[in-house]
Amino acid sequence: MGLTAIVFPGQGSQTPDMRQTVERQRPDLIGLITEIVGEDPFARADEGTQFAQPAIMCASLAGWDALERPRGDMLAGHSLGEFGALVAAGSMGESDALELVALRGRLMQEAGESAGDGGMLALLGSGAADHAQALADAHGLSVANDNSPQQIVLSGAREALPAAAEEAEGLRLRAMTLPVTGAFHSPMMASAAPAFAAALDRVEISEPAVPVISAVTAAPFDDVRERLVEALTSPVRWRETLLAMHELGAERFVDVGPGRVLTGLAKRTLSGVELVNA
């Protein structure tokens, strides 16, 4: 029998009913995250990353709770989902993780607003993974999210996105500019790193009880603090992370939600595995 991997989603997985899920499963998180953020982030989750990230984190923890908090044989998280995975693995306290996610969202929002000219472009369709790096190099962009063979996101200067989109469409890919406030997972997020690193230094972090696969390295976390800071400016190597977990023996992937984003990416990346949603 194969192993079970628990996966925690990142930004873009928010759903209209995720606050109700939290109220049902973990009502205590509503007050806690409202206190941390300064207001209810669920009401403004579509307005910016400073609200979306803490709201999704709470919904993911509620989804994990609904499944009776499984640790599985290994865990991973997509971008901000890494914090949920580290909580589930016993590496980080829940309150500390929520504080860090709220800070991370705010710092990334501020970095994007400060730069002022960053954006992201999704490449969709057969061959997206094959052409992404060449497109990024040709237009001075970075590969920000390697999500599946058919879904890659580029990140960088907003003025470079139209030409990259035009070239992508010439390769029979769909290109879609994302409604975000910055060039996330690119060097344009560098200004967020010092304050986030300082916050991580103040948090107690233990060795995970089960392997947590870093989406920066597609390998088990070594230095948790270093990898979490690095993730601000590095690509999310989610396709490779899924393949690495499968190589380690994972045949059952449990997406704690909200939404089914990671389930969809696993379906496009892996074959012959069982996919479960919270």
Q: Give the per-residue pLDDT at 214.
A: 98
Question: Are residues 220 and 90 part of one domain?
Answer: yes
Q: Pick from 133, 152, 177: which residue ends a domain?
A: 177
For the stretch 44-65, pLDDT in tens is 998 889 999 999 999 999 999 9
For the stretch 209-249, pLDDT in tens is 999 999 999 999 999 999 999 999 999 999 999 999 999 99
CATH for 144? 3.30.70.250
Question: Are residues 78 and 35 part of one domain?
Answer: yes
Question: Are residues 139 and 45 part of one domain?
Answer: no
Active site residue ranges: 79, 185
Q: Give the per-residue pLDDT at 1.
A: 66
For the stretch 91-119, pLDDT in tens is 999 999 999 999 999 999 999 988 878 99
Q: Is the pLDDT of residue 181 over 90?
A: no
Helix (H) or strand (E) holding 167: helix 161-170
For the stretch 205-215, pLDDT in tens is 999 999 999 99
**What does each C-alpha distance from 109 to 7, 47, 151, 189, 243 come to in angstroms?**
25, 11, 24, 9, 31
Question: Are residues 244 and 108 part of one domain?
Answer: yes
Express as a percent the part of the chain with pLDDT over 70.
100
Cα angle: 110, vertex 112, 113; to 5 degrees:
65
- What's the domain count of the chain? 2
Could you say which DSSP state residue 11 is in?
T
Question: Are residues 139 and 199 part of one domain?
Answer: no
Give the integer Cα–Cα distance in Å for 112 and 247: 36
Q: Pick from 130, 153, 177: which residue ends a domain?
A: 177
pLDDT mean over 137-162? 97
pLDDT mean over 139-157? 97
Range of the domain at 147: 117-177
User: How many Å from the N-terminal Cα to the C-terminal Cα in the chain?
Assistant: 21
71 neighbors 6 (Cβ within 8 angstroms):
yes
Confidence of residue 278 (pLDDT cuts 50, 70, 90): confident
Question: Are residues 84 and 124 part of one domain?
Answer: no
Q: Pick from 152, 177, 202: which residue ends a domain?
A: 177
78 neighbors 262 (Cβ within 8 angstroms):
yes
Question: Are residues 196 and 108 part of one domain?
Answer: yes
